[in-house]
Amino acid sequence: MECIILEKNDDGIAQITFNRPEAYNALNIQTRAEFTEAMNDVTNDDSVKVIVLTGAGKSFIAGSDIKEMQATTPIMAHNIVRLGEIIENCPKPVIAKINGFALGGGCEVAMACDILVAHEKAKFGQPEINLGIIPGGGGTQRLARLVGMAKAKELIYTGDMIKADEAERIGLINKVVPIDELDACVQEIAVKIAKKSIIAVKLCKAAINRGAQVGLESGLKYERELYSISLTTEDKQEGVAAFVEKREANFKGK
């Protein structure tokens, strides 16, 4: 792969890096295809428990490739690979390590992740309105769910960028850290999650994501079903035993 770097470590953490720094990691067709391949790899690799997404250079993802967009037809746009849906459909937790600009499609990719951590110089926005178009990768839907309709409309209608501290204040991201602490902070979070029962984490993600799409009654019913499933696992037996014996649990993902 040329536009994506995939790395895995012994802690059960895989990092996928968008690697077009000369183009601020703008999303082109090749990047979308390679990202899909990388996500299929880590999703199906049982040794991977947590996935981290980041960008090479000074940008997370600065949006879609404008040069390619000039030649995009309506049918091409309809069939384009939408990375946010791939991320949300991945059963494993995905952390966005936001190291710079997260604009347009980049903000949409970040919003599809489960946990978002940015350094203090990162910037966010949906500037599609400045091109005479609307967000097409989930921006109108996920942004409103995260920050509320009023703020989402303001950001999308104006195309304004906001800084990381403002993104944290309005609930767009989880945490802001100094630039030199970003890697360590994300690693700490990823390792902490990787030590949990991966089965339980997957069930939590499924319950939360489904609940965001349905009414409370349906969400509670789905949660009860998944809770019942969690009681049947070896990890549940280990977790309870570790608590009683006052020791750290050693989950096997079974």
Evaluate whether 206 touches 91 at the Cβ level (below 8 Å). yes
- pLDDT value, residue 67: 82
- pLDDT value, residue 33: 95
- Please tell me whether residue 180 adopts helix, strand or coil conformation: helix
Q: Is residue 238 annotated as a catalytic residue, yes or no? A: no
- CATH 3.90.226.10 placement within the chain: 4-194
Token reading at 183: 């890697």
* pLDDT tens readout for residues 156-170: 999 999 999 999 999
**Residue 36 CB-density burial (10 A; 0-12 exposed, 13-18 middle, 19+ buried):** middle
Evaluate whether 164 touches 176 at the Cβ level (below 8 Å). yes
- pLDDT value, residue 69: 78
* pLDDT tens readout for residues 173-216: 999 999 999 999 999 999 999 999 999 999 999 999 999 999 99
* pLDDT tens readout for residues 16-35: 999 999 999 999 999 999 99
Q: What's the rounded Cα separation, in Å, for the pair 20 and 41?
A: 20
CATH number at 4-194: 3.90.226.10
Q: What is the pTM of this model?
A: 0.94
Determine which one of 2, 85, 88, 108 is catalytic.
108
CATH number at 198-244: 1.10.12.10
Evaluate whether 173 touches 118 at the Cβ level (below 8 Å). yes
Q: Is residue 154 annotated as a catalytic residue, yes or no? A: no
Strand 4-8 relative to strand 13-18: parallel, antiparallel, unpaired? antiparallel
Determine which one of 85, 128, 154, 217 is catalytic.
128
Q: What's the rounded Cα separation, in Å, for the pair 120 and 21?
A: 19
- CATH 1.10.12.10 placement within the chain: 198-244
- pLDDT value, residue 81: 80
Q: What's the rounded Cα separation, in Å, for the pair 244 and 91?
A: 30
